[in-house]
Amino acid sequence: MTQSAAVVLFSGGQDSTVCLAWALKNFNQVSTVGFDYGQRHRIELECRQHVLSAMRDCNTVETGHLGDDALLDLSVLGQISETSLTSEAEITMSEQGLPSTFVPGRNLIFLTLASAVAWRRNADILVGGMCETDYSGYPDCRRTTLDAQQQALALGMERDFRVDTPLMYKTKADTFAMAKALGGNDLVELIVEHTHTCYLGDRSARHDWGYGCGTCPACELRANGWDVWQAAGCPEDTTGLA
């Protein structure tokens, strides 16, 4: 564990929960920030509080150094984004080859505001669950985008902010395996029971991998990752833990 402070971009989903466990292992001060941007699946805002509470009660994850949480109002983002994540529109592919769930500028805005929170908390590391392996093709999830944003934050704030993305090159199966390495079966069960990923905000059905509609792109990625991990014998992935 390094003597550094980190702010985790925490949505209450599988990826951000694994990132939170990873940050708790690697940094001696950890806090969280979330965003209410008028998302269609806003049930995640309720779930994130359940996850944080369950994480503090999880005996296999050390949370004594888990600090404050902040939820920022970004409703303006939903107002200017006509997407399937911010309205009841059907999930389709656009002419540009991007899914209609893509919210333009979302991660760029998230990181900018998270860095302002980090500045106030005297933290210089931002941790996000962005991934360009098993993902929906969002350009603001790519490492090249985040490298550019990292440089912009450092230049604009005169502080060497670092954007850590521990899941960047991991599949969803790897993410389940990483959760097991970080907190054993207890953390895996916490993720299955409490986190939310479904784009439609459906928590009426519980599958082996968690709650969701089972058919949206987010559910399909999570379900496939679970199946691949199970087929491999539920291994632990210790690569990239430090």
Where b means 16+ CB within 10 Å and e means fewer, 92-128 reads eeeeeeebbbbbeebbebbbebbbebbeebebbbbbb
Residue 207, SS3 per DSSP: strand
- Please give the distance of CA 167 from its chain centroid, rounded to a whole number: 9
**Residues recorded for the chain:** 242
Nearest alpha carbon to residue 38 among 3, 94, 81: 81
> What pLDDT tens digit does each residue of the chain (242 aa) get?
767 999 999 999 999 999 999 999 999 999 999 999 878 678 999 999 999 999 999 999 999 999 999 999 988 876 766 665 555 666 665 666 666 566 778 899 999 999 999 999 999 999 999 999 877 678 888 999 999 999 999 999 999 999 999 999 999 999 999 999 999 999 999 999 999 999 889 999 999 999 999 999 899 999 999 999 999 999 999 998 97
Q: Across the chain, what does the average pLDDT equal?
A: 90
Q: Would you state the structure tokens that stand for residue 136, as one six-digit string?
A: 């929906």
Q: Would you state the structure tokens that stand for residue 152, as one six-digit string?
A: 């912009």
Q: How many CB atoms lie within 10 A of CB 26?
A: 18
- The neighbouring-strand residues paired with 210 are 207
Q: Is the dihedral of CA 98, 99, 105, 108 positive or negative?
A: negative
